[in-house]
Chains A and B, each alone.
Chain A
């Protein structure tokens, strides 16, 4: 394969319709190429099928037509490692923070010899050093989501999928988490596919932004965000970009909903 981490061609996904009669197409002829090592965001309104798309890429949701290919960085023979940060932390509450990360390492078949080192490295990275023996339910929502991020990074994935990971947090925590995520990614650098409904979040975090329409979901615009990192959340260039994109979004959405 080329220098793409994810290649999706002509993807189609149908769901049974809520009435029980027939089915409706959620995603239709969707194509997406995510460059190796880039931070790409998919932005679309709620319920447009963004999470479904990530689940198809992650292999937990079937699809009707099209191809999904994820490239492994170290040779094409090994299956790609996928890290996933969900909307909610989805931690195993009966395991300590440390054991939650080790669960992912064990699941991936990563040798026991490196477990402790990985746990320490990635807990440090997400700012949770010293919490390894704590149980998830003793942590705040933001801290739990940091554990989930550490778990996804610890397997050193070829691609990191993030599904609105900060949407359940209050805005102040979410803002801090975004800045921290940028800092973390200076040290760990997987390809990231980030799904959000917030254009502001997308332009602040990403190098590539894909905009998605509804019913059926398709990508109607792709743009690069050329503002160099580290970025300031209040950078006026980000606001200008966001404003322009919002305008464009509504133009397309109005057509979709008509």
Chain B
């Protein structure tokens, strides 16, 4: 606790010291950053901007999780599907993310579709790889048990297989969440008429680093809060059956 606090204080002092050398619009001091954030969110329109971006992040994330998990699951359950998609997923993973961001603007124009499309294309292959890896660790003994008791395919999936994949699905979810919001912002910066990404472009063109930092920092804080108050408690609830190995 104490070393952490000291590090934080040290960092703030250093930041303040460096900021004295530069113009406040180039590198603001901690207090200036906070007052900029306060200024941004004193206008109601700021909430609409954040809301728009959040909407895109979540639609992109949910689609990526659904598409990614489904493909990963089918790849794991059918060997032929697995070897078929294997190289295609690698193609998607290696294709430059920035190209998707530009291409989707050309294809879909200034709309909600472009950022969502970009997020999905970049994020879902990670989910697929992760869930596919999970299917390789499925316990054959449990599948045999379910078969002896004559579980039908859907019951087997729901109560035997998917619960075993939950650790992989959750680790994908948290990584995908972090990835999704970064990609959504980049995509908005290129070609959306609204959202946090567009604000960043606007302040970039006005050479106002202080406002870019204020937007970036406030969005980051929001994302961390969502992780702490939504994703982590959810994960804890889903795995309540599992005694902790590490205290």
Contact = CB atoms under 8 A, between A and B. Distances in A.
Interface string B137-160: 000011011111111100100011
B241 interface: yes
B83 to A, nearest CB: 22
Nearest to B159: A103
B142 A90 contact: yes
A136 B146 CA distance: 17
Interface stretch (A67-75, A104-112, A233-241): A104-112
Contact of A92 (B147, B148, B163, B240): B163
B78 interface: no
B141 A107 contact: no
Contacts of B150: 107-109
Interface stretch (A27-35, A81-89, A180-188): A81-89
A82 B148 contact: yes
B163 A88 contact: no
Interface in B49-88: none
A155 interface: yes
B149 A60 contact: no
Given A88-B141, A92-B163, A58 B241 contact: no
Contact of A103 (B141, B151, B166): B151
A84 B148 CA distance: 7
B241 A137 contact: yes
* Chain A interface main SS type: loop
Nearest to B162: A94
A104 B148 CA distance: 9
B242 interface: yes
Contacts of B151: 103, 106-107
Contacts, number: 57
Contact of B145 (A86, A94, A136, A155): A86
B243 interface: yes
Nearest to B160: A92
B241 A135 contact: yes
A138 B141 contact: no
Contact of B243 (A58, A86, A107, A138): A138
Contact of A93 (B144, B145, B146, B242): B242
Nearest to B146: A107
Interface string B109-145: 0000000000000000000000000000000011011
B148 to A, nearest CB: 5
Q: Which of B145, B146, B150, B151 has the most CB of A within 10 A?
A: B145
B243 A90 contact: no
Nearest to A103: B159
Contact of B142 (A84, A92, A136): A92
13 contacts: A59-B148, A60-B144, A60-B147, A84-B145, A84-B149, A90-B141, A90-B142, A92-B160, A106-B155, A107-B155, A135-B240, A135-B241, A137-B242
Interface of B: 141-142, 144-152, 155, 159-160, 163, 166, 240-243
**7 smallest beta-carbon distances between A and B, as pairs:** A107-B151, A107-B149, A94-B163, A90-B145, A135-B241, A84-B148, A104-B149
